[in-house]
């Protein structure tokens, strides 16, 4: 109500002033132009009071609801009124400090490229510019081996063998999906990354693609090695990611059973943003496999398990030795003795094979390229009722998940990126 009174009063005052200028123009062109200057407007009011008083009455009437609205606002929210009168809302809001110290300079497809986000997770290094579902420009490098420890890698154009695959993506204003180009040789790459606690890597980066790609990038960067975020040395449970929920569930089970001997299986894909997430969780507690139906809720302080009232672990439970370290060194688990190499499902993978047996490839990373040339990477979710292939793509920095459907006739090629 107070906002409506203030807005109505301001509109009446503005209408009166506009009317006053119109009256001045009707008197003479000189007075009209002069009334646009406040001191001359006052002179016009004094010289032509009989004409100008009608507009002044309208402006005076506007002061009544304006004053009433300000008084009501002061009684209900004095801090808000102070912020309005001090004109702090006109100042640009301060930008939060950047999570990553990225100092890279270069271009991608002939356009300036300044990534704001970087990560090295699951053997894939990503440099991303833009905060939308699709990055404006993006570089992906699939490394042969990935680790959260130090990374040292040098590739020259003449090198051969198993080399990292480099992919560049850019999104044009008139397109729905980004353009993509990939190459696995003929480029220059230098990576020298060192661990930075708790979950970052930092170091030098240098990439030069062949001239036809118009892409080069050089400088220093920081990047995340997982999808957890930390605040004051502890995991920030307010951040939306599957890893954050896994941390919350793991901590909950440890306190619930008063033991550190908790081995949590991987959680399913979760669509963010969300405030409430039901989960079916499997975990090995003290060597015993168990299942739990949990509901996670996001509150002001972050994610928590609904109904969690369990206290912190006792010192005895905190000092417990994990199961893996309690076995004698000369005992080899039976599972290791009978282990055999797993079948690589990328061999002879094709769209017909996927359609015949979709369950075999569920939740694996795939790349679908349309006949038009645009491509999308994501995890295979399933096949819809209309035979469309559905992929889910996790956004960077915890921005949620996007879902894509591709009809078989519009698919140019489909690749399986995981064994």
Q: Is 131 left (phi over 0), alpha (psi -120 to 50) or beta?
A: alpha
Q: 124 and 79: one domain?
A: no
Residue 90 phi, psi dihedral angles, 5° rounding: -80, -20
Q: 107 and 220: one domain?
A: yes
pLDDT value of position 322: 52
pLDDT value of position 282: 92
CATH number of the domain encompassing residue 293: 3.10.450.630
Q: What's the rounded mean pLDDT across residues 203-231?
A: 94
Q: 220 and 273: one domain?
A: no
Q: Give CA separation, 97 vs 82, 100, 187, 370, 373, in Å.
A: 27, 9, 34, 39, 38
Q: 166 and 204: one domain?
A: yes
Q: What is the pLDDT confidence band of residue 335, given thresholds at 50, 70 and 90?
A: very low
Q: Residue 288: enclosing H or E segment and its boundaries?
A: strand 288-299
Q: Is 339 part of a structural domain of the chain?
A: no
Among 138-152, 164-178, 244-258, which range has the highest average pLDDT? 244-258
The reply to whether the predicted model has a pTM over 0.75 is no
Q: What is the pLDDT confidence band of residue 323, given thresholds at 50, 70 and 90?
A: very low
Q: 216 and 124: one domain?
A: yes
Taking the mean position of all CA atoms in its chain, how far away is CA 205?
23
Q: Residue 324 pLDDT more than 60?
A: no
User: By the 8 A CB rule, do 2 and 69 touch?
Assistant: yes
Q: What is the pLDDT confidence band of residue 108, given thresholds at 50, 70 and 90?
A: very high
Q: 48 and 116: one domain?
A: no
Q: 219 and 107: one domain?
A: yes
Q: Is 61 part of a structural domain of the chain?
A: yes
pLDDT value of position 202: 94
Round to whole Å and give the CA distance between 220 and 30. Answer: 64
Buried b (16+ CB within 10 A) or exposed e, 100-109: bebebebebb
Residue 123 in 3-state DSSP? Answer: coil
Q: Is 345 part of a structural domain of the chain?
A: no
Round to whole Å and give the CA distance between 332 and 396. Answer: 40
Identify which of 248, 251, 227 has the alpha carbon closest to the alpha carbon of residue 237. Answer: 248
How many distinct structural domains can be found in the chain? Answer: 4
Q: Is 342 part of a structural domain of the chain?
A: no
- Find where tokens 């997982």 sit: 226
Q: 254 and 305: one domain?
A: yes
Q: Is 56 part of a structural domain of the chain?
A: yes
Range of the domain at 256: 230-326
Cis peptide leading into 29, omega within 30 of 0?
no
pLDDT value of position 386: 82
Q: 161 and 136: one domain?
A: yes
pLDDT value of position 398: 52
Q: 322 and 356: one domain?
A: no
Q: 273 and 376: one domain?
A: no
- Of 224, 246, 261, the residue at which a domain comes to its end is 224
Q: What is the pLDDT confidence band of residue 68, given thresholds at 50, 70 and 90?
A: confident
Q: Is 98 part of a structural domain of the chain?
A: no
Q: 108 and 201: one domain?
A: yes
- Of 174, 198, 224, the residue at which a domain comes to its end is 224
State pLDDT tens for residues 223-268: 999 999 998 889 999 999 999 999 999 999 999 998 989 999 988 8
Q: What is the mean pLDDT of the chain?
A: 84
> What percent of the chain shows pLDDT beyond 70?
87
Q: Residue 414 pLDDT more than 80?
A: yes
- Of 192, 224, 256, the residue at which a domain comes to its end is 224
């Amino acid at each position: 109500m107070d906002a409506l009174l203030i807005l109505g009063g301001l509109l009446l005052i503005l209408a009166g002033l506009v009317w006053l200028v119109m009256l001045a123009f009707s008197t003479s062109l000189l007075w009209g132009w002069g009334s646009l200057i406040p001191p001359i407007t006052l002179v016009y009011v004094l010289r032509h009071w009989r004409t100008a008083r009608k507009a002044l009455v309208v402006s005076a009437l506007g002061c009544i609801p304006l004053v009433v609205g300000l008084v009501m606002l002061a009684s209900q929210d004095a801090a808000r009124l102070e912020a309005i009168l001090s004109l702090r809302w006109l100042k640009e809001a301060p930008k939060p400090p950047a999570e990553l110290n990225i100092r890279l300079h270069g271009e991608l497809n002939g356009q300036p490229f300044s990534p704001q986000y970087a990560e090295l997770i699951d053997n894939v290094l990503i440099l991303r510019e833009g905060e939308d579902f699709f990055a404006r420009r993006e570089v992906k490098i699939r490394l042969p081996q990935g680790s959260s420890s130090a990374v040292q890698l040098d590739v020259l154009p003449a090198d051969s063998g198993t080399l990292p695959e480099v992919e560049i993506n850019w999104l044009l204003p008139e397109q729905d999906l980004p353009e993509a180009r990939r190459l696995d040789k003929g480029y220059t790459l230098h990576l020298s990354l060192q661990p930075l606690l708790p979950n970052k890597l930092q170091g030098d980066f240098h990439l030069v693609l062949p001239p036809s790609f118009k892409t080069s990038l050089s400088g220093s960067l920081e990047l995340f090695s997982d999808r957890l975020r930390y605040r004051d040395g502890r995991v920030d449970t307010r951040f939306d990611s599957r890893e954050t929920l896994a941390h919350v569930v793991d901590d909950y089970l440890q306190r619930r059973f008063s033991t550190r001997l908790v081995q949590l299986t991987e959680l399913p894909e979760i669509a963010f943003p969300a405030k409430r997430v039901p989960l079916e969780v499997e975990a090995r507690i003290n060597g015993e496999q168990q299942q739990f139906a949990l509901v996670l809720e996001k509150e002001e302080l972050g994610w928590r398990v609904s109904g969690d009232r369990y206290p912190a672990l006792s010192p005895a439970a905190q000092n417990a030795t994990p199961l893996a370290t309690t076995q004698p060194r000369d005992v080899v688990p039976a599972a290791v003795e009978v282990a055999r190499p797993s079948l690589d499902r990328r061999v002879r993978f094709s769209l017909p094979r996927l359609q015949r047996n979709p369950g075999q490839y569920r939740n694996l990373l795939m790349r679908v390229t349309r006949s038009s040339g645009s491509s999308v990477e994501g995890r295979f979710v399933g096949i819809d009722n209309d035979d469309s292939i559905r992929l889910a793509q996790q956004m960077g920095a915890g921005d949620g998940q996007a879902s894509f459907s591709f009809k078989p006739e519009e698919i140019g090629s489909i690749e399986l990126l995981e064994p």
